[in-house]
Amino acid sequence: MDFTGAHILSIKQFERADIERVFKVADSMEPYAQRRRVTRVLEGAILGNMFFEPSTRTRVSFGSAFNLLGGEVRETTGFKNSAIAKGESLYDTARVLSGYSDVICMRHPESGSVAEFAGASRVPVINGGDGANEHPSQALLDLYTIRKELADRGRSLDGLRIAMIGDLKHGRTVHSLCKLLCLFDNIHVTLVSPPELAMPEAVTENMREAGLKVVVSEDLAHGIGHVDIAYATRIQEERFTSKEEANLYRGRFRLNQAIYTQYCEPNTVIMHPLPRDSREDANELDNDLNLNPNLAIFRQADNGVLVRMALFALILDVVDQVDACARDVNWYSGSR
């Protein structure tokens, strides 16, 4: 794909060569994300961060990525703080705010809403999550994390064995990741969930048609037994009709150190898109895993900045200018 000026709305836009391009650029961003170097390549550029659903990591990660490239960030959070609360359409919002920004990242609770917004925008739009539909940048950072974790073990993405666990019906992160895995070879995916929260059939069939081996299971112990990656997800309470309905499934598939030791292979990597629900009745990833070196959830979050820096650099066509606008940092950053 031609990244310059492109919207990033769905994993369907990407081919394998595009993924490899994003990852190569993300690798080059590490000195800046690690605060060893500073670049001002996007000095004067403005990111419009529009988040109409609660978000910590995605919103701050996009903002940090843009700031690290030298740009400025303007944020809108929640419907109450926007003109949409006064009845303004997505079309009008897009036409206005794209006049104030060079690129926009948007999260919205309704599937398809970000694509609708992008259709009226005068600048590139990145989908930060639209309802239960997709979250393309999360899938990219997830796969980037998997690639790095496997590389440390002398492995590549081809031949990956992964278990996805939890609320697979509403989890837009796993929907996008499944679509991304279809670009690779000899992939084995185990989907572990209650039947009521199973991966949408269209996503499962798409994987099978792409040649992936897909196993559907309700048995956590069996599902995590022979995988490289155990990818847990929380119960998406906000997608249910009531908290009581969500409570029927909360805490159903808990992973702790004892279960990990008993059923997982010694080097199985544990991932989660975050936030993990650490309340007592949920606790899908127990805190006793925090000292497990294979718990990659915080490395995963760090990688989000690298991938989002890469997307901005590609979309705004400054990849070849980043180093030319760089200097060493002048503050203490050794704790990293």
188 a catalytic residue: no
Q: Which helix (H) or strand (E) holds 76?
A: strand 72-77
Among 205, 199, 209, 213, which Cα is nearest to 159's? 213
Angle between the N-to-C axes of helices 297-315 and 16-28, in degrees from 0 to 180, rounded to the nearest 10:
100
Token code pair at residue 197: 């929260």
- Among the listed residues 37, 57, 155, 188, the single catalytic one is 57
CB 55 within 8 A of CB 128: yes
- Among the listed residues 59, 107, 108, 179, the single catalytic one is 107
- Among the listed residues 7, 59, 108, 135, the single catalytic one is 135
Q: Hey, how many other C-beta atoms are within 10 angstroms of the C-beta on 85? A: 10
58 a catalytic residue: yes
- Among the listed residues 86, 153, 279, 327, the single catalytic one is 86
Token code pair at residue 238: 């906000």
CB 231 within 8 A of CB 272: yes
Strand order of the β-sheet with 269-271 is 213-217, 188-192, 161-165, 229-232, 269-271
Q: What angle do CA 13, 19, 24 make, to 5 degrees?
A: 145
Chain CA centroid to CA 217, Å? 24
Q: Are strands 269-271 and 229-232 parallel, antiparallel or unpaired?
A: parallel
- Among the listed residues 7, 39, 58, 173, the single catalytic one is 58
170 a catalytic residue: no
What span, in angstroms and rounded, lies between the C-alpha atoms of 263 and 256?
Answer: 11
Q: What's phi and psi for 333, nearest 5 deg?
A: -140, 20
135 a catalytic residue: yes
86 a catalytic residue: yes
Q: What's phi and psi for 182, nearest 5 deg?
A: -65, -10
Instruction: Report, as residue numbers or ranges, the catalytic residues.
Output: 57-58, 86, 107, 135
